[in-house]
Every structure is written in structure tokens, then in C-alpha cells.
Structure 1
Amino acid sequence: MCAAAVRRVDAVAESGADDRVDVSALVVRLTSEVDEVARGKTREIQKITSQMKILALNALIESARAGKQGAGFAVVAQEVRAVGAQIEQIARDLEVQLTKRTGELIDSIGNMTERSRGDRLVDLALNAVELIDRNLYERTCDVRWWATDSAVVDCASGSSPRAVAHASQRLGVILSAYTVYLDLWLCGLDGTILANGRPDRFTVAGQNVAGQDWFKQALRLHSGDDYVAGNIRRQPLLADAQVATYCASIRSEGRSDGAPLGVLAIHFDWEPQAKAIVQGVRVDDPNRSRVLLLDADRRVIAASDGRGCLDERFPLQTAHPRNGTYRDSSGALIGFHLTPGYETYRGLGWYGVIVSRGD
């Protein structure tokens, strides 16, 4: 599913990793060079000034021995001694200043590295949720197209045994070509499932789904051009599988403005598709990172470690509601991005999230 897009996520990951390696190498090199200047060169100056002081002391001793004849030389020796002390103080001040500047430089580079790492996590989070958006956009196209199939329209118009068998056979053909679906249901306006594409696997014909949210929303659709994009739910009639249900109106003669005849519901096999995306994000250390998809209520709907799906609520902090980074109380770096939607699919307020505990 969307292999090219998954490869694009990998390329972003590899590019970000290369950038971080370059910055780390720069920090090491600059620290070493500045340390050499701050400590090595200034200590050489201090060594020279120490020698000057010794020479000045020796000169003072010799001038004292020379008596009056050495008095003038003593003044020079004192000046040399004073200059040496000044140079020594300058060397100490230089070392302190360079050490301070080095610390500031390292902090600045560290902040830059943090921002770069955070930006990369945001990019990866965006790519993950974009893959889902594009995939689910295709689902909205599928359901509106298949709702106009003549076998589906005929069955919804009059559910004779022959029409039901034909519709079921037609839905089965669709399922054989589109492996991302668990089942397709053709429902009457009262919520009764008239036909499905996998009757040998799911014996749902005759069941009533009038109480399910996606069906209620589908009854309120204004035309055949509209659709319902359902949130991720476990579907008891499909062995409690995790599904995203998409619906469209079945209308008279397959026309978008035709009278409503029924509802076509397609159940996207969510778990394996979402797993392929979140586990396809190439983070630096999979053992210390977690890739998540969250719904609008911050419920985990996919996780690279397989934990918490549909049960865990992630405490996402969204000071900026669209995207951003922050560190949580444990020190983990969090990068997130809100779904941007894709073409006519606006998205459902989902987030891509990367949790990195690499420090």
C-alpha cells in the first residue's frame, strides 16, 4: 500500500539522520579547536610570562649586587616584571572569556540540533498522516463509485433473491481486486443488510445496523456525491476487527440526485494497513521511538509498537494546534502534525505523532 510514499518517508528519515550526524561532528570539532586555543595557547603565554618574571627577578638580584651602577637596570627589571604580570592577567582573562564563549557556542549548537531534530520528527509525523489521508481519500472515491454499480442499485430498488445474489456476487468481485477491505455491505433504508461481498466468511445478511453512527450519518447525505468517513471502530459483525467504515447513498438509476434507495458501507481493514505505515517510518532507534496515529480525541488508532490501539489516550500537548514539538515530563521529544487532508477528503482531525526517547 502506497509503497512510493513509504519510501519517501524513509528518504526523509535518512536525510534527517545525515544532517544530525554532520551537526554532531561539527560540535566535536569546534569544541576541540576552541579548547586548544583557550587552554593550550593561553597556557603557553602564561609559561612565557613566568619565564619573564624569573628573568626580571634575576635582573633585580644582579642590579642589587651592582649597587648604584645597577639602579637604572633595576627600574627596567621592575617594568619587565610588571608587564609580565599584566600579560599573565590578560592570558587568564582570555582563557575565561574563551571558555565562556565556547560554552555559549556549544549551547547554541545544541539548541540548533534540538530544533533540527524536532523539525525532522514533525516532518516524519506529517508524512505518516499524509499517507493515511491519501489512502483514505481513495476509499471515499471507491464507495461513491461502487454505490452507482447497476447490481447494487437493482438490489436496493427491489431486493429479490436473484437481485441479492447478483449484488453479493458483484461485491465479491470488487473485494477480490481490492484487498484492503474486509467486507462491503449493501443496506436498505431501514438498516437491514441486504447483501455483502463475503457471505461465506461473514454471515451478516439480515442483520440490522440502523443504530450504528455511520448508518445514521449516511441517511442524512444530501446526494450521491457526498460520503461518510467513519472513525476507527471495532466491528462486532466482522469478528470485532478494527475498521474504518465509509458510506455513500445508493440512489435511483445511480444518479447523484436520484431518490435514496439504500446505503453502501465499505469496511476498510484498518489494522494491517495502518501498521504498515507506522512501522514503515524509519526512526533512528525503533527501540527508543514510537510512531503513533491519533484520532481527534487523542485516542491511539495505530502504534508502531502495537500497544494501546483503540484503548490508550495520548496526552498530546498542542500549544500550536497544527504542528510542533515539545519535551514531556520524562524528557522524551515529541513531534506532531495535524492531518492536512487530501483533495476532497478533509480528514477527521487525526494527528501523526513521533515519540523519541533517544537522549
Structure 2
Amino acid sequence: MAHGRLRESSELMTKIWHKGLPFSPEVAPYLRRMALVDENREALLRLQGVWDSLALLGQMSGTATDIAHTRSAFQNLTSALLDSLARRLRTHALARMQGRARVAIDILVRNLFERTADVGFLASDGPLCAHAALAEDDPAHAASRAALQSRFAAYAAKYSVYDDIIVLSPQGRVLARLDGGCDVSACAESWVHEALASDAPYVEHHGPTALLGGRHGLLYARALRGPEGVLGLLCLSFRLADEMGAIFRQLLGEQEAHAVICLLDAERRVLHSSDAWQIPTGATLQPRGERLLFAGRDYLCVQAAASGYEGYMGPPGWTACVLSPLEWVFEDPDAGGGSAKADHALQRLDSIDTTRLFDAELQGIPVEARRIQRNLSRTLWNGKLHSYSRTGGAEVTAGFATTLLNEVQRTGAQLRQVFEEAIARLQGAALTAVFDAAVFQARLAIDIMDRNLYERANDCRWWALDVRLQRALAAQGTPEAGVAAAQAQQVLQQINALYTVYSLLLVYDVHGRVVAVSDPAQAHHVGQTLQGAWAGAALSLHDPERHVVSRHEATALYPAGGQALSPQGQPTYIYAASVQHQGQIVGGIAIVFDGEPQFAAMLRDALPAPEGSHELPPAGLFVARDGRVVASSDARWVPGAPGPLAAALLAPLAAGETTRCDVTIDGMVYAAGVAMSQGYREYRRGQAPSSEDVAAVMLSPLGPRLPASLDDRDASFTPPAPLAQGERLDIAAFTVAGEWLGLPAGLLVEALEQPRLTALPNAPRALVGMLQHAGRMVPVLDLSIALYGQAGDPREAPVLICRNDAGHILALRVEELGPVFSIAASQALPGPGSRARLVRGGEASGHRMLTLLCAADLWSHLGIDLAPDATALPAP
């Protein structure tokens, strides 16, 4: 006991007091901004003031002496509740912001990883290298430059992420470029010379550069090499501002309208900002922990570094930073529309065991509130018993005491309601946060997929422009066919080494016959005729800006388990485009996406970071509109099989639309967030809905479904209006096994809360022990066992002390205490075949029946046979 008091005292010493209540130090700086905490604090303190007055009146009148103890318990619970509410508001805000910061930097890094491969592929382009090898005074140089600029335009038309493509000479002179509006003729900056001398697959440069007319840019460069050495330098200028704007728009919805996302460099300078009026580009941010004071405004602030993709971490030191003004960040979670969207999903969740979502303190608050309320109910119950005499039912203190007790009861009910509403709001906010996170993660997953497949759709059209592949296919049917096929295989191997997301690259002639493949282990495909409908469809594409994609289905081109000769294969996507030479279609190029590991990586990146060990971690899936699984992070759902959601839920979703629902799987209820694909940039934008559309589904476990209750334990009993005439009957009501029972109030001494029992060996099952009361040992009868043959929960069961006129004392274990009330004796109706009576409740309780027990029947369980008139009720 002493240790407990010391621990409680130590905890209070670490708290920070705010408006008369103790709070944890981590939330203290934000309390002035937490309107929801203030709202609940004011409501609770108003009722505490009423409680103080009632406690004083109770002491003056000598009634309800336990009110002061109950007041103190409610005050302690108020502190715990408000502190828990404040900490949860802070935790939710930081988690929401951290998620957006992580997504912002990781999406960017995934995009930039593709650029590191692009510069390597384009640096091997034949016409580009041929132009760099030409002397600038060569008569063919001007025509070659014009042709190369047209070629750049063809490349950029397929990859709109670049705003310029530039070729420099070894001396830094501009040999050709996509942007004809920039008249820079040379660049002698140090990074250019470093890139020309580098053997690295790419060189990354960010900052202002004369090469772009002095503006900031993010460039990927690679030296062009020939047999005679370095021919020049290729530079790809990435549309960083355009890309960051798209990321900002995606991550900042209505609920985050006041937040700012920034991209920071290694020196914490702002490279790009979603709101330059709040946080301008070029500013340096120096937060103090999780707070930042900038331009006189206080922000909550989080940062995230890149998780990395395929070993690439992005430009050194770059991070994403999310800032939210303190006056907005802790808004009521119900005010932003998030919970309104989740109403449909949450309406059936009252039957779910969601304790795993809440920390131990939050789980304990409802338990403690229930304990206090039970103690209050017992105090009021005893007080009302004492307000009745035990000699004929006349009221001794019918006026002031009864009025005071009723007011205490009313105030206690109001306090309980405030606590229940606050706890329900906390729990509802936690559930809403789970659903919001599931939808956010689903949007992230489908965005990653759209961006990734955008690259695949572009890659097949990029590589169709490779003149070596064009010439190899054009040579089929000629004596040079064999040599040309070998050269095509070498080119495909080089490309596949740069772009590791593909299982296989292949080219085929106008008859659908495979000419060359990138993987020697799958050389058995060479010479075979492709059967998929996509192969013929690609050969009919005269527009070089178009491509085709297969259904997501099993194909022998994607062998299962690494077995090259597997006839069935795994399901994946194949992207294909026509290959043209001198205006004629000479064949096609097909790229087989390595779907299994790539989709797994996308889902892994979208799933939340693991927190501790959970028996059931969240699961992520990609599903087609008809419900088929495209990929899954959970082995329960395999590609090609039906997924956990019905097609009827997915079918009506428009492009980019999201929804949420709950779904029960193997007895576990999950929060499901769903997001339908909307494409990226020009990829799949504006297309009509199709059964091949893909949605991301994120499943977050909530808890097991609770078994349905067979009784109506929450049904209340409202006493009937007493008749004006006739003898009075005072009744104390209680519940046992969900049934309403009662005894004459004159028989009851008091109700006790969980008294210590001494077991009796070899006693009847219903006789659960003995307790000490007023110097005597009293037998305790469990009414649930005695009357219904089923044991109740003894942990919270009150015990009633009964004494009859003969001086016999008996204790009764019951379930819940009910009202103490008076009726006319005639309102107690005879029961069928027993000495018990029936009392019909008031209209508010649906005229529910209460059974008024005969005390003699209770003592008979102990073998005590009382005369029938010893405890007789007045005649009806």
C-alpha cells in the first residue's frame, strides 16, 4: 500500500499542472491548443462543482457519507482521462504527419531511381553517340544535330518527367539539346568535368547551373564513351518542381489543408514547399525537437529520411518535412470529416473486441469509471434503504434525504455520461484513425503501382526507338538475320542489367516469332511463336506513342519458382510496343514485368512500419475490379484467386475513388481501406472502367467478433407509478442472470462491494462461502446458482445483507443493483405456482416484469424453514 502511494506521488511529481489538473510533460506545451481537452475539462469540472455542494449537504444531513470518496475517485479519473485524451491527440497528429513525410520522400526516391537507369540506357543510344563523335566542323554535324533533337523529342514524348536532354562535348560545349529556347552554348562548371571523368553509372547534380540558364535543376549525367575514349556527356534534366507539386497535391487533402510539406537538403534548406507563403523556398528550418517556430508561427514538425529503393537512397541528405500550425493540428477528429466518412464502416463495430487498439491506461479508464459508478450506485442504494423504516414501510426522512439522494444520483449519471461520451470519442477517434490510415496506405500503394507501371509503359516504347533493335528485326529473313539476332540479344541484356524490375525482355518479328531474349536461361523461347493476344495487338500499332499490356495472367514467359521450362508460369503483366524501321513495322518488343518481388516491394513500402510483435499484422493486396488477386503480402490470398472483398464493392468505384469498410476473415474483423487506380501523368488517364482496373486494399486487424448476447442484460427497469391508495410496499430491485428481481426493502440492511469470503468445504454449490458482518459470520448465497443453476461473474458482484424479523441473517450475491421504490401493495401481483409476486414496470422500460422474491424461499436454500407468515407480504 505504501509502495503504491509512493509510486503515485512520484508520477504526480513528473506531471505538469495546467488549469488545476496534472498532465504528462510531452503534451504540456500543446494544451492551450487542444480545444477538445478544454471542452471535456470544463464539462467535468462543472459537475465536480455540483458534486462538492452535494457532498457538503450530505455531511450536514448525515446521509450518503461515501459521496466524498466517490467525488475523489471521479476527480482522479478526470485527470487520467484528460491526460490520455491529450496524449492521444498528440500521438495521432505526429503519426499522421510522419506517415505523409515518409511517403513524400519515398515516392520521390522511387521516381529518381528510374532516372538513374534512364541515363544509362540513353547513353548507349547509337545516334546520340554517333553525333557526339562527329567533329563540330563536320558538314554532317548540323543535320545530325537536328535529327538528334527530333529523337530527343520522341524520347521526351514518352517520358514527360524530363524538361531537357542535353549532350555536351568533352570540353563542355552544347552539341545538342531538347530545349531549343535555351541559348547556352557551353558549361564549364566543376560538376561537368567530374561527370566526364567519372566511371559511375550516373552522376547526380542539384542546384543552379549555367547549363539551364542559371535556374535550379536536378540533372542525371553519364559520360558517353566510344572506342577512342570519352565522346561527351549526356545530361537528363528532371522536372523536380513538377513532381513535388504532384506529391504535395496527393498528400494534402481537406483534412491537411493547413499543413505544409517541404523537401529539405542536407543543410535543412527548403528546396520545395507546398505553401511558399508559409514556408518559402530557400529558408532554413531548425526545429526544436518536434516543434518549430518560424516567422512568428508555432508548428508541430516531423521529418523523414528515405527508406531507399533497390539500394538507392536519393540525393545525399534529402529529407521530407511536414509542418502543421499548432492552432489547427489538434482539431477535433470528428470535425474534419474523417469520422463522418467512417460512420458507415464504424456502425457495426460495437460488437468487436477492439482492446488491442488501445493502450493499457485507456483500456483501464472505462473499467475504473464502471467501478466508481458501481460504488456510487451502492452508496445511493444503501442511502435509500436507510430512508425507509423497517417497521411497516413508513418513510422516516421522506423529504430532504430523498431529494438529496436523487440529486446525487442525477449528478452521478451526468458524470458517467460525460465520461462515457469522452471515452467513446477517444475510442471512436482511435478506430477512425485506423480506417483513415488504411485508406491512406491504400492510396499510397496504388499510387506507387501507377507510377511504377507508368515507367513500364514508357520503357517498352523507349526501347522500341533503339536503332540496333530496329535494324536487327528489319534483317530477319535476310542472310544477316543470325548476326542481327545476336546483336539484339546483347542489347537486351545490357538494358535488362540497367532495369532490374524485369524478368525478361524479348523482341519478335512480324509473324510473332521470338528473335532474341535478354536471359540466356530462357533461350528456349527463341524461334517460338507468341500466342498471347497482346503480341498481335502490338504489331498493329502504327503510332509510336501507343503500347499494349496483357491481362494479369499466368504466362510461360514468367516461369514459376525459377524453373525456366515451366509450362504454366506465374501471373504478371507484359508490356509491348511495335518496333518500326524507316516507317515500317518490323516487329515488336515485349517486356515481362517481374511482378512477384516488385508488387511485394510496393505493398511492403505502403504498409505501416511494424510496431512490436502482432499475431496478425496488417495485410496489403492489389486486386482487379472483378475481385481477383493481383498480388498480396499475405499468403492466404494468392495471385489469380478471389480476394477478401466482393466484386460488388469494387465495381462501382471511379478512377481514383476510395472507400472503407469492415470485413470479417476467420473470425477477425479488419478495417479495410480501398483505393482504385487513377493512373499517373498520361498513363491510363481518362480511360473507361475495365475489369482489368486494379485497386489497392489495405487490411488492418481490429479484433475478434464478440459472440452475440442471448439475454438483454442492459435492459433497464423503471418503477411503475404508485397508486394513491392502499398499503405501501417498499422494494429494493437488483438483477440476477439478466433478470430483474426484488425484495422488500425492510429485509435489507445494506449492500457490500466485493467482501472477502471464507470458503465452506462440502457446502452446496450455491452456498459460496461466509463473510463477517457486524461481528457475526453470515452465509453467502449466490442467487444466480440458486435460482438459475449458472454461476455469475463474482469479480464485480455486490452482496446484499438480509435480516428477517426472526433475526436470521443471510447474504445474497447478485449481479447489479437497481432502483429502490415504493408501490401500492395491490400492484404486486401473484406469481404462477409460487410465493413470489410480479411487479409490472413503467412504460419507459416497456412494462418489463420484476419478480418480487419471498424471503422464506431464500432461507430454504440453507435448510432453514421459516413459517409462511414470518416474512409475509401484504395481501394484494
Q: Under a length normalisation based on structure 1, what TM-score does the superposition of the two structures give?
A: 0.75
Is 1:327 aligned to residue 652 of structure 2? Answer: no
User: Which has the larger strand fraction?
Assistant: 2
> Is contact 1:143–1:248 with CA below 8 Å preserved after alignment?
yes
User: In 2, Cα distance between the equivalents of 1:336 and 1:39?
Assistant: 43
After TM superposition, the structure 1 = structure 2 runs for residues 255-294 of structure 1, keeping only pairs within 5 Å, are 258-280=583-605, 281-282=607-608, 285=614, 287-294=616-623
Unmatched tracts of structure 2, length 5 or more? 1-105, 111-305, 309-319, 321-332, 334-354, 390-395, 560-568, 686-691, 704-876
Residue in 2 that maps onto 1:202? 523
Question: Which residue, 224, 246, 257 being the options, matches 2:575?
Answer: 246
User: In 2, Cα distance between the equivalents of 1:189 and 1:201?
Assistant: 21
Question: Which residue, 539, 546, 549 being the options, matches 1:229?
Answer: 549
> Is contact 2:504–2:557 with CA below 8 Å preserved after alignment?
no
User: In 1, Cα distance between the equivalents of 2:597 and 2:364?
Assistant: 46
More deviation, 229-238/239-248: 229-238
Aligned-pair CA distance for 1:127: 1.2
After TM superposition, the structure 1 = structure 2 runs for residues 159-178 of structure 1, keeping only pairs within 5 Å, are 159=476, 160-178=481-499
Residue in 2 that maps onto 1:155? 472
Is 1:138 aligned to residue 431 of structure 2? Answer: no
Aligned-pair CA distance for 1:113: 2.3
After TM superposition, the structure 1 = structure 2 runs for residues 42-121 of structure 1, keeping only pairs within 5 Å, are 82-121=399-438
After TM superposition, the structure 1 = structure 2 runs for residues 289-308 of structure 1, keeping only pairs within 5 Å, are 289-308=618-637
Residue in 2 that maps onto 1:72? none
Aligned-pair CA distance for 1:116: 1.6
Change (3 A) 1:28 1:114: same
> Is contact 1:295–1:350 with CA below 8 Å preserved after alignment?
yes
Aligned-pair CA distance for 1:188: 1.4
User: In 2, Cα distance between the equivalents of 1:42 and 1:314?
Assistant: 50
Counterpart secondary structure, 1:308: coil
Residue in 2 that maps onto 1:343? 681
The alignment's C-alpha RMSD in Å is: 3.7
After TM superposition, the structure 1 = structure 2 runs for residues 209-228 of structure 1, keeping only pairs within 5 Å, are 209=530, 211-228=531-548
> Is contact 2:632–2:639 with CA below 8 Å preserved after alignment?
no
Change (3 A) 1:238 1:315: closer
Aligned-pair CA distance for 1:238: 4.1
Q: Which consecutive segments of 4 or more residues in structure 1 shift more than 6 A?
A: 19-23, 32-37, 39-44
Counterpart secondary structure, 2:408: helix
Aligned-pair CA distance for 1:42: 8.8
Counterpart secondary structure, 1:174: helix
Counterpart secondary structure, 1:132: helix
Change (3 A) 1:95 1:21: same
More deviation, 91-100/25-34: 25-34
Relative contact order: is structure 1 or structure 2 higher (C-alpha 8 Å, sep ≥ 6)?
A: 1
Aligned-pair CA distance for 1:33: 8.5
Change (3 A) 1:36 1:130: same
Number of residue equivalences? 321
Give the % identical residues: 25
Q: Residue deviations 1:49-77, cap 9 Å, x none?
A: 88x979xx9xxxxxxxxxxxxxxxxxxxx
User: In 1, Cα distance between the equivalents of 2:501 and 2:364?
Assistant: 51
More deviation, 24-33/176-185: 24-33
User: In 2, Cα distance between the equivalents of 1:203 and 1:286?
Assistant: 45
Which amino acid is the alignment partner of residue 349 of structure 1? D
Is 1:311 aligned to residue 640 of structure 2? Answer: yes
> Is contact 1:180–1:269 with CA below 8 Å preserved after alignment?
yes
Change (3 A) 1:249 1:286: farther
Aligned-pair CA distance for 1:313: 0.9
Q: Under a length normalisation based on structure 2, what TM-score does the superposition of the two structures give?
A: 0.33
Which amino acid is the alignment partner of residue 415 of structure 2? L
User: In 1, Cα distance between the equivalents of 2:367 and 2:636?
Assistant: 44
Change (3 A) 1:286 1:124: farther
Aligned-pair CA distance for 1:137: 1.1
Counterpart secondary structure, 1:202: helix
Change (3 A) 1:33 1:4: farther
Which amino acid is the alignment partner of residue 602 of structure 2? I
Aligned-pair CA distance for 1:40: 7.2
Change (3 A) 1:300 1:86: same
Counterpart secondary structure, 1:262: strand
Residue in 1 that maps onto 2:510? 189
Unmatched tracts of structure 1, length 5 or more? 12-18, 58-77
Aligned-pair CA distance for 1:244: 1.8
> Is contact 1:42–1:94 with CA below 8 Å preserved after alignment?
no
User: In 2, Cα distance between the equivalents of 1:261 and 1:144?
Assistant: 14
After TM superposition, the structure 1 = structure 2 runs for residues 12-31 of structure 1, keeping only pairs within 5 Å, are 27=362, 31=366
